[in-house]
């Protein structure tokens, strides 16, 4: 799936579709490789059960959208060499400032 030239996947605690894009059921903890960026929208308290899974995906970057900022997961990711950012993905995309840190292959 592409939007603004970026390949992306949607994940939630419920499967389905959104704007013709399949939503993967995160509760099944799908095995996914070559993750560049994870955009987090859950609040910090709801993220806790997903720490291990999110970090196991070995993303290159995690972006915490407004309301999802989480110092604990931020630090855990940094310790694993993952770039972290508190920002709004939709704003970054709309102003042309969403740039991958590395080429997506």
pLDDT digits (tens, 9 = 90+) for 8-45: 677 887 778 877 878 888 888 888 899 888 999 999 99
End-to-end CA distance of the chain: 14
The answer to whether 62 and 82 have CB atoms below 8 angstroms apart is yes
CB atoms within 10 A of CB 90: 12
Give the domains, in start order, of the chain with CATH numbers: 2-94 (3.40.50.720)
Round to whole Å and give the CA distance between 50 and 30.
12
Pick the range with the lowest mean pLDDT from 30-34, 61-65, 94-98. Answer: 94-98
Per-residue pLDDT, 93: 80
């Amino acid at each position: 799936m592409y939007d603004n030239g970026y390949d992306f996947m949607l994940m939630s605690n419920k499967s389905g579709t959104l704007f013709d894009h399949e939503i993967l059921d995160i509760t099944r903890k799908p095995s996914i490789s070559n993750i560049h960026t994870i955009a987090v929208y859950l609040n910090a308290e709801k993220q806790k059960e997903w720490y291990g899974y999110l970090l196991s995906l070995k993303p290159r970057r995690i972006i915490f959208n407004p309301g999802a900022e989480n110092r604990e997961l931020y630090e855990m990711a940094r310790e694993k060499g993952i770039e972290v950012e508190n920002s709004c993905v939709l704003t970054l995309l709309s102003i042309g400032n969403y740039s991958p840190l590395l080429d997506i292959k």
